[in-house]
Amino acid sequence: MIIKLKENFFKFLALHFFFLLLLIGIRFFEQLIFNFSDSLHFNLINFLVYRVNFDTLFVSICSVFLLIPFLLITLWSPRVAIIFLRIILFLLLLLHLALTQFFITAGFLLDDTVFYFSFNE
């Protein structure tokens, strides 16, 4: 049983690493869009220091919160645990893409002002 948990833990880490690479890719294209729209120059140091560090922190926090449910589901069924993790990471990726698209379109971050509007607005 310990060997199966260890194997699934490495699958867990691999999925989170792939998730991190996807987030960094999205950040890179976001930066390219801003460079072409605002005529700003790409600053690699700024990109690496702020955006990649933030994405790494986000993935680390997600992995901390998802590890215990993943291991508990692994005890029941390793295949279901992998499917569960893929679904959760896919939903987080879609949320990240939606928020990125909102920021590119609106030009500001989504904050508590969204609660001032009704559902129809």
- pLDDT (tens digit per residue) in 19-77: 999 988 888 887 777 767 665 566 667 777 778 888 888 888 988 998 888 888 888 88
More confident residue, 41 or 13: 13
pLDDT number for residue 96: 85
| Token pair 């679904």: residue | 87
pLDDT number for residue 59: 87
pLDDT number for residue 105: 77
pLDDT tens, residue by residue, 64-111: 998 888 888 888 888 898 899 899 989 989 988 888 888 777 766 666
Query: pTM of the predicted model, to two decimals?
Result: 0.75
What is the DSSP annotation of the chain? Answer: -HHHHHHHHHHHHHHHHHHHHHHHHHHHHHHHHHHHHH-PPP-HHHIIIIIIHHHHHHHHHHHHHHHHHHHHHHHH-HHHHHHHHHHHHHHHHHHHHHHHHHHHHHSS---GGGGGS-S--
pLDDT number for residue 83: 92
